[in-house]
Structure formats: C-alpha cells, structure tokens
Chain A
Amino acid sequence: GQNIDQPTEMTATEGAIVQINCTYQTSGFNGLFWYQQHAGEAPTFLSYNVLDGLEEKGRFSSFLSRSKGYSYLLLKELQMKDSASYLCAVMDSNYQLIWGAGTKLIIKP
C-alpha cells in the first residue's frame, strides 16, 4: 500500500530552527509537496520537490532524497505565526496526491 509518515506533533522555540521529516512509500513518484495549514483554515501550498536536493524559499527550505523516500521541511527563524500543521504529500504514478496526516508544529516564546 501507499504510505506517508510524518511526526504527529513537534514543539520548537521562537527564533529557532525546526526540521519536519516525511518518509514515503508510493507506487511511482511525480513530486513531493509541502503544505501549511493553520487551525480551522485551508491548506496552502509551500513547496515542491521533484529532483533530489534542497529547494529554498525564504525562511522555508525543502529537501528531497528519492532513493531514500525521504523529505524534510526546514523552517528557520521561527515566528509565532508558523504555529500550524505541515502536510507532506506525494504525487504517485497516477498523478494522484497521497497525503500524510500532518505534523502539528507548536511554537513557544
């Protein structure tokens, strides 16, 4: 079966750096996506990786290793507004998105 694993919850301190990991087992691979979802709101797109390596976008970076079935989202200079759930999703060989359950990130002052 297809599976996306990410930690249920993480806690970090304002101003610090946090890394949210995602491992996947899917039938085929056509890209990995990270979304942010604040409580009670809709998910919003953060990043996309299809090749191995690091994609940087401001304070957020996303890394992919296809051979390991592994990605991480790196958040730098954490702000209170970064408190949210972060969803990892993989597009399989049928171009369907398979979603992880999300990682709830709690930022403490």
Chain B
Amino acid sequence: DAKTTQPTSMDCAEGRAANLPCNHSTISGNEYVYWYRQIHSQGPQYIIHGLKNNETNEMASLIITEDRKSSTLILPHATLRDTAVYYCIVRVAWGRDDKIIFGKGTRLHILP
C-alpha cells in the first residue's frame, strides 16, 4: 500500500501558485519524498525529490515539514499544461527494494 495520503482533486486558477499537500506520517529516516505527475495518456514525469531540506528546481518547489510527516509541492505559476495527476511517493534511499509504490494521486485542474 502507498505510504502517502493526498487529496483526490484540487483546482487552481491559471497563473496562481498551486500548492499540493501530501501526508506521510509513517516516513522513516532513510526515505525520500518524491513527486511525479502524469498528464493524460502519458507516462509519469519526474518533478522533484527531497530528504529533509526544501528543494527547488525549474519545475517546482518542495517544502518538507521539520518532522518530515508532510510536504507540499508548489507550482509557482500554474498553466493549463500543468493539469495532471500528481503523485507523492516515499522511497527508501538505499537497498534492493527499488520499486515505486504509487497511490491514486491528486488530480489537479488548472482553470482558465
């Protein structure tokens, strides 16, 4: 089973920041938080990942709480092309268990 809890769906106005929450209250010290998204009929696309520090790249920012039990993915200026299902995933940082366990994710609708 997925180790994360996400809202089923969210709306965001185009041009505004989209803030997608994720709860991972049972996360272990050796587990990363990963975010992927899946645009309709395409394969999942890697967005960002982090261990305990906040991370930023050209696509998004990842804010992880100090206790690491939750995180927020921020898309700073959402566009219509950001409409997708967003998956929050926890993964062990090392070891042989290399598979990704996906939940159902959050369906983000960007409204014009």
Whether A and B are associated in the same complex: the answer reads no
**Residues of B in contact with A (beta carbons under 8 Å apart):** none
